[in-house]
Amino acid sequence: MPKIALFEPDIPQNTAAIIRTCACLGAKLEIIEPCGFLLTDKRFKRVVMDYFNEKDIKFYQSADIFFQSKKKQRIILMTTKASVSYTDFKFKKNDTILFGRESAGVPEEIHKLIKNRLKIPMENNKRSLNLASSVAIILAECLKQTKWI
């Protein structure tokens, strides 16, 4: 089963929408802390509704702990700085697909750690898609390729 990992998410509504997407499509969600909000935030609760179950989400207290636990697993970083499109990539069932924080992506040292970096092609002069939309696009393609849906 593919895993979606969020690096220090900072917008509660996006994280809540991603929790719902993962719950509905059967993907595992992992969150690298710290988050830029509390899980009791009313904006988070309004969007997540009854899809939130803390037991279904794996939390990592830091990026170091996350990467230590993933030493033998493939991590794919989604970034606007990549040159390879997600449509030109072969996903595997146990991939962990990492998304950076909405306000700043991931630090340069994390970019350097990850071999597989992909992008969602966009029109020229467009900065980025909403994080929750990006997760849905990539998760759907991953599930399609790995025959989960």
Residue 149 has pLDDT above 60, yes or no: no
Q: Mean pLDDT for the chain?
A: 90
Please give the Cα distance from 42 to 70 (Å, whole number).
32
- CA contacts within 13 A on the Cβ side of 3: 21
Q: What is the pLDDT of residue 42?
A: 80
Q: What is the pLDDT of residue 49?
A: 72
pTM of the model: 0.92
- CA contacts within 13 A on the Cβ side of 63: 17
- Average pLDDT rounded to a whole number, residues 95-106: 94
Residue 104 Cα to chain centre, angstroms? 14
Instruction: Reduce the DSSP state of residue 135 to 3 states and report it.
Output: helix
Q: What is the pLDDT of residue 130?
A: 93
Alpha helices in the chain (DSSP H): 12-25, 42-48, 63-69, 108-113, 131-145
- Average pLDDT rounded to a whole number, residues 15-43: 88
Q: How confident is the model at residue 52 (pLDDT cuts 50, 70, 90)?
A: confident
**pLDDT 10s digits, 118-127:** 999 999 878 8
- CA contacts within 13 A on the Cβ side of 41: 16
Q: What is the pLDDT of residue 148?
A: 64
Question: What type of residue sits at position 21?
Answer: T
Class of the CATH-defined domain 3-145:
alpha beta
The share of the chain scoring above pLDDT 90, in percent, equals 71
The enclosing H or E element of 99 equals strand 96-99
End-to-end Cα spacing for the chain: 11
- Average pLDDT rounded to a whole number, residues 106-133: 92
Q: How confident is the model at residue 3 (pLDDT cuts 50, 70, 90)?
A: very high
